[in-house]
Amino acid sequence: MKLLVCLKQILDPDVPARDFQIDPAAKAARRGGANLVTNIFCENAVETALQFREAAGGDVKITALCYGESSAEDCLRKAMAMTVDEACLVERNGNTNPEAAAVGRVLAAAIRRLEQDGGPFDAVLVGRESGDWGVGQTGGLLAEELGRPALGFVESLQPGNGGVTLRRQTDVGIEVAEAEAPFLVTITNNEDNVPRIPKTRDVMMSYRKPLQKLSLADLELDSEEIRDGSSIFEVEEIFIPTDEVECELAEGDTLEERVDQLAKRIHEVVASIG
């Protein structure tokens, strides 16, 4: 079996509030002192794939694919340290368009290229959403591009009778599904797919493993297809919300007076909010 896991590199969502900056001109977060990390749901997806391989008993090959800046190589190296078999980076070269449809198109083209060389992927695993924009649509749009059936919010993959048994989180509980290849799933987190810490030897080995790099030109995508420089939506404004606290003390000489005053003010405030 062959699995493919898509990864995204994002600004560290754990950056201290005071270190988080916005570039008002670009209408995007500024890197500042923040680190770049692998999106957590993508790491959950890697872990889920690894656990599937372990459960299936070895005859499973996992490829990690990332569309990002050259710095995203770190994410792929870490995936390889977690013992993913192969990794491929599609270099983004400054195109920062976050639009999921464009990203889906790039990923689909890269997957088709990888399938040309190494045969079809039975399952494609995508993180539920990313920790930066949180749009949560890449998985579905990628499935559309690939013409695969897709299931969202999956938390585990197990070898099943002839296919794969999936557990997915729904509003009413866990749904268990049987899937036949090829398919795509978006992965959410649960307590069992916390990304593992790689063994040191695997960390060292990850830097010696080959890492395939593709450019958008290699994938023969024109700028129209990936909407370079344009988007179907526009970021109008981006800002850091501020907490403003106004404190007012109910006045009065006696407790009764203060309670009355308080009740009066509550009425006024509620009325003003409408």
Partner 1 sequence: MFRVGGTVPFMDPTQATREVFWNIEYTWLVYVLMVPTLAVFGWGFWLKIRRWRAGQPAIRFDRPAERLQLFLRNAVGQGRTIRSRYAGVFHTLVYTGFIVLFLATTVVAIHHDTPLHIMKGHFYLIFQSLIVDVFGLFVLVGVALAAIRRWISKPNLLVYTDEASWILVTIFVMALTGFMVEGWRIAVTDDPWAAWSPIGNLFALASDPLMSDAAMQTGHVVIWWFHLVVAFGFIAWVPFSKMSHVFTAPLNIFTANLDGYGGSLKTIDFETAERFGINHLGDFTWKDLLDFDACTECGRCTDVCPANTVGKSLSPRDIILDLQGLMHRQGDQFLLNGNGNGNGSGANGSDELLPIIDQKTAVSPEALFACTTCAACMEACPVHIEQMPKIIDARRYLVMEEADFPEGMMDMMNSLESRQHPFAGTQFSRVDWTEGLDIDVMAEMDDPHEAEVLMWVGCGGALVERNRNTVRATAKLLKKAGVKFAILGREESCTGDPARRVGNEFLFEMLAKGNVETMQRYGVRKVVTSCPHCFNSFRNEYPQFGGSYEVYHHTQFLDQLLESGRFDGHDAAGSSNGSSTITFHDPCYLGRHNGEYEAPRNLLAKVGGARQVEMQRSRNTSFCCGGGGGMAFVDEPPDQRVNQERAQEAVDTGADVVAVGCPFCATMLDDGVNARRGDRDVRVRDVAELLWDAVGESDQAAP
Binding site for partner 1 (CB under 8 A): 12, 14, 16-19, 33, 35, 37, 196-201, 203-204
Residue 1 vs 203, nearer CB to partner 1:
203
Residue 70 Cβ, how far from partner 1 at the closest point, in Å?
Answer: 18
Residue 81 Cβ, how far from partner 1 at the closest point, in Å?
Answer: 10
Sign of torsion over alpha carbons 211, 212, 216, 217? positive
Residue 45 vs 185, nearer CB to partner 1:
45
Residue 22 vs 151, nearer CB to partner 1:
22
b/e map of 138-166 (b: 16 or more CB within 10 Å)? bbbbbbbbbebebbbbbbbbebeeeebbb
Residue 251 Cβ, how far from partner 1 at the closest point, in Å?
Answer: 33
| Residue 83 near residue 25, CB atoms below 8 Å | no
Residue 23 Cβ, how far from partner 1 at the closest point, in Å?
Answer: 18
Residue 18 vs 270, nearer CB to partner 1:
18
Residue 86 Cβ, how far from partner 1 at the closest point, in Å?
Answer: 21
Residue 197 vs 263, nearer CB to partner 1:
197
b/e map of 44-83 (b: 16 or more CB within 10 Å)? bbbbbbbbbbeeeeeebbbbbbbbbbeebbbbbbbbbbbb
**List of residues 6+ apart from 170 with CB closer than 8 A:** 153
